[in-house]
A and B are shown apart, each in its own frame.
Chain A
Amino acid sequence: KNQVEQSPQSLIILEGKNCTLQCNYTVSPFSNLRWYKQDTGRGPVSLTIMTFSENTKSNGRYTATLDADTKQSSLHITASQLSDSASYICVVSGEGNNRLAFGKGNQVVVIP
C-alpha cells in the first residue's frame, strides 16, 4: 500500500469555482509535506511546504492545510483559472532523510 494516498483521482471544475484536494499519508516519523503542481509535459513545481507545527500555508490562490495528528492534508484552490489544469502531487518527507513518498496525484481539469 502506498504511503501517500490522494483523492479524488481526477475532477473537472468550472472556471471560477473552488475545489479541495485531499492527501492522507502514513509516513512516520514525519518531517514535512509538500504540494507540487505538474503541468502536462512539465516537471513538478513546488507550491507549498509545511512542517509538523504548521496548520495552514497559502501561495496565492492555493491554500494547504495540515493535520499532523490525523496525517491528513488538503490543497484548496480558490477561484480556479484555466491555468490551474494540472496534476497536483502530495509529497511527504520522513524525518532524517531526503527520501520522498509520492502520491499518484490529483488530476484537475478546469473548463470555461
Chain B
Amino acid sequence: ETGVTQTPRHLVMGMTNKKSLKCEQHLGHNAMYWYKQSAKKPLELMFVYSLEERVENNSVPSRFSPECPNSSHLFLHLHTLQPEDSALYLCASSRLAVGNNEQFFGPGTRLTVL
C-alpha cells in the first residue's frame, strides 16, 4: 500500500443523497488532490490543496464540494449527483504542490449514482 487510504471503497447512491468520500495520507505530505477516473478516459484533476488551502479547482460542478481540515485529511462531499458522475474517485498526495514531486495515489472509491 502507498500510505494513502480512502473510504469507502465502494459507494452506491441515489441522485438525491448526500455522501462524503474520505482520504487520509500518512506520508507527511503537504499537498492533496482529488481525481476522477472514468472508463477509457485519462484521469481528470478536480481539486488541489496545498497546506490545507485550495489552490486549484478545475471547473468542477458545485455538487462536488471538497474540504481539507488539515494536511493529512481530504474530503469530497457529494450532493444531488448525476448518473454521469459514476466513476472511480482517486485521492493523491505529494510532498509539495509545486515542482515535480511524485504523487502517491490511494486505492480509490468506486462511485455509482443511480
Binding site for B on A (CB under 8 A): 2, 4, 9, 31-32, 34, 36, 41-46, 49, 89, 93, 96-105
Q: How far is the CA of A89 from the CA of B90 in the complex (A)?
A: 14
Interchain nearest-CB distance for A1 vs B (Å): 12
* Contact size range, B: 20 to 34
Contact assessment for A102 and B43 in the assembled complex, using a CB-CB cutoff below 8 Å: yes
User: B100 in the interface, Cβ–Cβ < 8 Å?
Assistant: yes
Interface residues of B, Cβ cutoff 8 Å to A: 2, 4, 6, 9, 31, 40-43, 45, 90, 92, 94, 96-108, 110
| Interface residues of chain B: helix, strand, loop or mixed (majority) | loop
Contact A45 B2 (CB under 8 A): yes
Give the residues in chain B near A105, CB-CB below 8 Å.
42
User: Would A93 and B105 be within 8 Å (CB), given that A43-B4, A99-B45, A102-B43 are in contact?
Assistant: no
A54 to chain B, nearest CB (A): 13
Q: B63 to nearest A CB, angstroms? A: 23
A43: shortest Cβ distance to chain B, in Å?
A: 3
Q: Nearest Cβ distance between residue B40 and chain A, in whole angstroms? A: 6
The interface residues of chain A lying within 8 Å CB-to-CB of B41 are 104
